[in-house]
Structure 1
């Protein structure tokens, strides 16, 4: 249990129906508050036809076993395939992990997956994501269609970010010379604008250097601009972690970038 995130987000499962026109939220399975050893929940579907479904798993708590049952006379088969098959790779902090969405489907990485019908590999680590050498090596060897480098927040200071951000990108680029890379700076900008400006500049410099070296497969999203507009102050739960409104803003920015990458005239 977390004090700033509902049980439906940390421990719930989101049930979506997938169609050719998009994925639709049908139900959220939420365990009892004092659950110790498991629970059951039922989602009712329109009868008389086959449904393709996606289940988003809990954002924080582990699933040790998951059993899916269907009504008598029903069957389970293959769902819709992802296009393209290689996943979108995300790397970052607790925000990338999904803190603090009200339910799993509202984490920005899962919104991206649902709206674009894409598989994802979400490497979001609460309190971690410091571009450790082992992680840099692992990321460089991940096969993906797009790499969303959401690395900023958990670098302990500007000097650490300076020492690790561009080396992480360069290690990935050495193994993946044409894979699109989208770099984000942290969205909770207003609490410390001077520090966050310097952090953003470090990330921006990675992007600028890549472009100067002829890399045409890099994009930059300015975290300060993610929560623009009259509802800017309504986008986090604790001045740091996005709520659902904040995650919608992040998802829109990433979806727009990916759409422009893959359909330049979009």
Structure 2
């Protein structure tokens, strides 16, 4: 067969139509959305929560940060069709991070980045080929949902004769839950896989639940009740200091949040994580003092619980998560980390969190 004929055959194979599948159907697995199994909606909180939540939190719950589509396939091609709830509109975060999907390939703990959806950012619907000529053989696929936009529908397109297989089970059937701020949600990662909770999900073989709410995760008692409804928790991380409004309010909400959660989950480890350093504090003494004051409140709160016998609550200082010397080079705007900043956070947090996880060796 000459080279020209070979190219014709290859081109003909590429024109064969893909078969489209909904990841809401088995054997696909939707991870990171705690109420998906009951409601089949791409949303981070229940549609009708048992407790009243602020309108801003209710709206941000439609952003799909932390959501994952997990499956295995032997398809040589994989595409996605996506219908978003809105258009890309952020001025300090790439549309690939706000509205895109990331594709990672590899078994748990060995996932490697492959591609990110790119599209006309003025549109709410797009189709994108994640890969077209993947080496034949069963591959484990992880698709990360957008961080700052809602997804009305996503479809997965593969070769007509390809198989879809359930993903490998997690090492433990428990959730690691993060409650926090816009930084927790993933602002301002350039693509979904670089949010620090998503990076951690590739280092710790468990399901991660991202409940970061931009400007709106303030430690409300109602949110503590809702978070406590999530079954099979292995660890709860409270990372909402930067949204706490004032030291006085933090001093009120933090003990209350912990008590509500502890009443429902007496044995689940809780880590209170203080915020990263903001670049402006190098020049703004008041901003520095505010962070140090709030850090003291968190440390004192944790110590008070431990003195009363709760030995499963811990404090971790987030001051150096971005590094010590050049932390101010790791953000987009002095506050929200870049991919470099998020990677540094995850690299440091993984070995810190592993010993706390309920049931870990």
- TM normalised by structure 1 equals 0.93
**Aligned equivalent of 1:244:** 339
**Aligned equivalent of 1:30:** 118
8 A Cα contact 2:178 2:237, kept in partner: yes
**Aligned equivalent of 2:259:** 170
2-structure distance, mates of 1:4, 1:135: 28
* 1:67 partnered with 2:155: yes
My pick for the range that moved more, 22-31 or 42-51, is 42-51
Higher fraction of strand: 2
Change in 2 beyond 3 A, CA 1:80/1:239? same
**Aligned equivalent of 2:321:** 226
**Aligned equivalent of 2:303:** 208
My pick for the range that moved more, 133-142 or 148-157, is 133-142
CA displacement at 1:202 relative to structure 2: 1.0
Runs (5+) with no aligned partner, structure 2: 1-88, 282-286
Query: Which of residues 206, 217, 241 in structure 2 aligns to 1:118?
Result: 206
CA displacement at 1:86 relative to structure 2: 1.4
User: Aligned residues, how many?
Assistant: 266
8 A Cα contact 2:108 2:205, kept in partner: no
Per-residue CA distance 1:126-181 (angstroms, 9 max, x = gap): 11011222112112232311111112111111111111011101211121111111
- TM normalised by structure 2 equals 0.70
2-structure distance, mates of 1:241, 1:92: 13
Runs (5+) with no aligned partner, structure 1: none
8 A Cα contact 2:277 2:327, kept in partner: no
8 A Cα contact 1:184 1:220, kept in partner: yes
Structure 1: 4+ residue segments shifted above 3 A: 262-266
8 A Cα contact 1:7 1:33, kept in partner: yes
CA displacement at 1:265 relative to structure 2: 11
2-structure distance, mates of 1:189, 1:7: 24
- Report the structure number with the largest CA radius of gyration: 2
**Aligned equivalent of 1:101:** 189
2-structure distance, mates of 1:69, 1:120: 26
Q: Root-mean-square deviation (CA), in Å?
A: 2.0
Change in 2 beyond 3 A, CA 1:43/1:241? same
